[in-house]
Amino acid sequence: MKITLLGTGDAIGTPKIGCRCPACQDALNGGPSMRLRFSILIKGPQGKVIVDTSPDLRWQMISNGLDHVDGVIWTHTHYDHFAGFGDFYRVQGHVPVYGLTNTMDYILQYLGFLEPERHDVKFFKPFSIAGLDFILFPVNHPPLKECAGVLICENGKKVVITSDTNNNIPPGSLDVMHGADLLIIDAIVPPGINLVKHMNAQQAFDLSIKLQAKNVVFTHISHMFPPHKEALKQWPLGKDKMEFTI
């Protein structure tokens, strides 16, 4: 499978509107600190799947040559993870969408006019799209009552996307996440900043060691990090359009 990080930014992206911090200035100058909001593309042997539909989805699809997908997975109900789905209007009808029932109910109150092909999924129950096997597992993203991480498997290889979460992840989910060939992990801020909803870089790195991930990349990154090239000397920050073949 091939993984493309369509957007590696947090809810506001980088540059933040009106900000002139070093990371935002690098982004404004066209540097690698430029981050669209969170979406991930997975290419399998039988098609393409997007995990979360960023508000920046239109440009993500155009710049990556996408005009059709075989499925969309939604991890939770925060706007920066679903609001761009409307960009399928007049591009692709009846897009197959997958997610937890409460998540789907919430999102489709807003986006149901697109008449997607709905597939309700339960935690730890496998499903398949595009020749790949998926499992959603619970993570902890308060104050939401439910938020899903994503496991993708093909031919004994596994990719784990934590989605938005702090490091208080249920034991059953940690078992699913263990030993990933690629761990794509939420690390929204540098060390020393502790948040209720997300992990900082040190927490994310420590969790990747605990999980014995073979490769790890940070995503959902805020402008609070130093500019990308500087931060990369210490932390495995992802960047938009970064690709992995597993």
pTM, 2 dp: 0.96
d(CA 146, CA 166): 13
Q: If you average pLDDT over residues 212-231, what whole number do you get? A: 98
Residue 234's pLDDT is 96
By DSSP bridging, strand 2-7 and strand 242-245 are: antiparallel
The whole-number pLDDT of residue 244 equals 98
- The confidence score (pLDDT) of residue 162 equals 97
Q: What would the pLDDT profile of 98-145 be if each residue is shown by its tens digit?
A: 999 999 999 999 999 999 999 999 999 999 999 999 999 999 999 999
pLDDT value for 87:
95
State the pLDDT at residue 193. Answer: 87
Is residue 199 a contact partner of residue 185, using CB atoms and an 8 Å limit? yes
In angstroms, the CA 213 to CA 204 distance is 11
**Rounded distance between C-alpha atoms, residue 170 and residue 110, angstroms:** 30
Question: Which band of pLDDT confidence, cut at 50, 70 and 90, is reported for residue 195?
Answer: confident
pLDDT the model gives residue 43: 98
User: What percent of the chain is modeled with pLDDT above 70?
Assistant: 100
pLDDT value for 168: 95
pLDDT of residue 94: 96
What's the rounded mean pLDDT across residues 190-198?
90
- Percent of the chain residues past pLDDT 90, beyond the cut: 98
pLDDT score at 146: 95
Measured from the Cβ of residue 6, the count of other Cβ atoms closer than 10 Å reads: 27
Q: What is the pLDDT of residue 192?
A: 87
Closest CA to 27 of 54, 42, 50, 9: 9
- Considering the chain, what is the average pLDDT of its residues? 97
CB-based contact 182:174 (threshold 8 Å): no
Tokens (6 digits) for 140: 């902890």
pLDDT greater than 90 at residue 194: no
For the cut 90, the answer to whether the pLDDT of residue 230 exceeds it is yes
Mean per-residue pLDDT for 69-91?
97
Q: Return d(Cα 167, Cα 208) in angstroms, integer.
A: 10
What would the DSSP string read from start to end of the chain? Answer: -EEEEEE-B-TT-BSPTT--SHHHHHHHTT-TT-BPBPEEEEEETTEEEEES--TTHHHHHHHTT-S--SEEE-----GGGTGGGGGGTTT-SS-EEEE-HHHHHHHHHHHGGG--EEEE--TT--EEETTEEEEEEE---TT-S--EEEEEEETTEEEEE--S--S---HHHHHHHTT-SEEEEE--B-TT---SSS-BHHHHHHHHHHTT-SSEEEESB-TTSPPHHHHTTTS-B--TTEEEE-
pLDDT tens per residue across span 137-185 = 999 999 999 999 999 999 999 999 999 999 999 999 999 999 999 999 9
Averaged pLDDT, 20-43: 97
Distances (CA, A) of 107 to 65, 93, 137, 170: 26, 17, 19, 25
Range of the domain at 18: 2-245
Q: 168 and 142 in contact (C-beta within 8 Å)? A: no
CA 54/CA 72 separation, integer angstroms: 11
Task: For residue 99, give the CATH number of its domain.
Answer: 3.60.15.10
Number of domains in the chain: 1
